[in-house]
Amino acid sequence: MSPSPQPMSTRVLIVDDNAMNLELASFLLEAAGCDVHGAHDVPSARLVLHHHAPDLVLLDIQLPGVDGLSFVSELKADERWQALPVVAFTAYAMKGDEQKMRAAGCDGYIAKPIDVGQFARQVLNFLPG
Domains and CATH numbers, the chain: 11-124 (3.40.50.2300)
pTM of the predicted protein model: 0.90
pLDDT confidence of residue 93: 65
CB-based contacts of 45, cutoff 8 Å, min separation 6: 13, 15, 39, 57, 59, 71
Q: Residues of the chain whose pLDDT is less than 50?
A: 1-6
Output the CA–CA distances (angstroms, integers) from residue 102 to 58, 75, 81, in the order listed.
Answer: 14, 13, 16
Closest-CA residue to 124 (of 20, 38, 33)? 33
pLDDT confidence of residue 41: 97
pLDDT confidence of residue 2: 45
